[in-house]
Amino acid sequence: MNNFLDIHTTDPAALRNIIDTARAMKTARQGRPKGTPDDVQPLDGRMVALIFEKPSTRTRISFDVGVRQMGGQTMVLSGTDMQLGHGETIADTARVLSRYVDLIMIRTFEEATLLEMAEYATVPVINGLTNRTHPCQIMADIMTFEEHRGPIAGRKVVWSGDGNNVFASFAHAAGQFGFDLTFTGPPPLDPEREVLEFAAAAGRPVTIERDPSLAVAGADLVVTDTWVSMHDPQSAKERRHNQLRGYQVNAALMAKAKPDALFMHCLPAHRDDEATSEVMDGPHSVIFDEAENRLHAQKAIMRHCLGV
């Protein structure tokens, strides 16, 4: 049994295997209606709990569809509807759920909640996003890059904007998959030191370049995300917009990257804030491939967790 808690705590060989499995499974069901089962049914008879303490479109639906395609069943649970949201401990919840289900996916606020769930559950636990990281997203993003451009190792990835949870998982992935990562954003919104330290210790120190035009030079991939994440107070919105305005990904910025550079955004987006619609809908953009690949990548992650 394997948890999938973060990219930096998962073995690089297992990460590579997940990407390869995801690609093979995607190819195997090309052209098939979404509701039809896969040829192999590794989750036959398995029950999966999908717990959401924050909103979700992609994570919720892609996990649900993925489990069903592999022959399993799901229960989609909102944290507030469970006793968890009314004072029952995470440890007790984890022990109870483990008596009913074979796998737990949780999207939550504090990383400590995820870790406590994993500590006390006797079934695998998957991180569906915390305030600190979003590993499932970055597995889909790496799969997407490689589908379009081949191996990501040695390539230049540039993140423009907030040094947030999605950035953190990119930084973890830089160390594990061996690509170069540049962060461009304002100092108050720099990534956490621990995240930068992991990438540096893994031999892929994150380059910090305050000027976005200089940062994107030679980029194979330009990535951004919302300027205000779900855990950020709404009161910070105006300040963040003022701090980040200069880091918008627009056509002028993309023109400074490599001519064949890709553009990614995990979605949901605030169009014409962090990225213009011109870029999001333009020739560099692979945002909907990323969204689709959440499904395939997470199916492979669930197989990894269950060893099936």
Binding positions for L-ornithine:
165, 225, 229-230
CA–CA separation, 196 and 240 (whole Å)? 21
Assess 230 for contact with ligand NVA (CB under 6 A).
yes
Assess 266 for contact with ligand NVA (CB under 6 A).
yes
| Of 74, 165, 182, 224, the one binding ligand NVA by CB under 6 A | 165
Burial of 124 (0-12, 13-18, 19+ CB in 10 A): buried
φ/ψ of 150, rounded to 5, equals: 80, -170
Residue count, binding to ligand NVA (CB under 6 A): 9
Please choose which of ligand CP, ligand NVA, none residue 226 contacts, taking the beta carbon within 5 to 8 angstroms, the exact cut-off set by kind: ligand NVA
φ/ψ of 156, rounded to 5, equals: -105, 120
**Of 23-31, 41-49, 163-171, 176-184: span binding ligand NVA (CB under 6 A):** 163-171
Please choose which of ligand CP, ligand NVA, none residue 229 contacts, taking the beta carbon within 5 to 8 angstroms, the exact cut-off set by kind: ligand NVA
Q: Is 303 a catalytic residue?
A: no
CB atoms within 10 A of CB 259: 7
Torsion of CA 251, 253, 254, 255, to 10 degrees: 80
Whether the CA torsion 118, 119, 120, 122 is positive or negative: it is positive
Active-site residue, selected from the candidate residues 155, 220, 225, 298? 225
For 9, residues 6+ apart whose C-beta sits below 8 A from its C-beta are none
Least distance in Å: CB of 129 to ligand NVA? 6
Instruction: List interacting residues with ligand CP (CB under 6 A).
Output: 56-59, 129, 137, 266-268
**Of 18-26, 37-45, 143-151, 158-166: span binding ligand NVA (CB under 6 A):** 158-166
Q: Is 69 a catalytic residue?
A: no
151 prior amide bond cis, ω within 30 = no
The residues of the shown chain that bind ligand NVA, judged by CB under 6 A, are: 129, 164-166, 225-226, 229-230, 266
Q: Catalytic site residues?
A: 107, 134, 137, 225, 266, 294
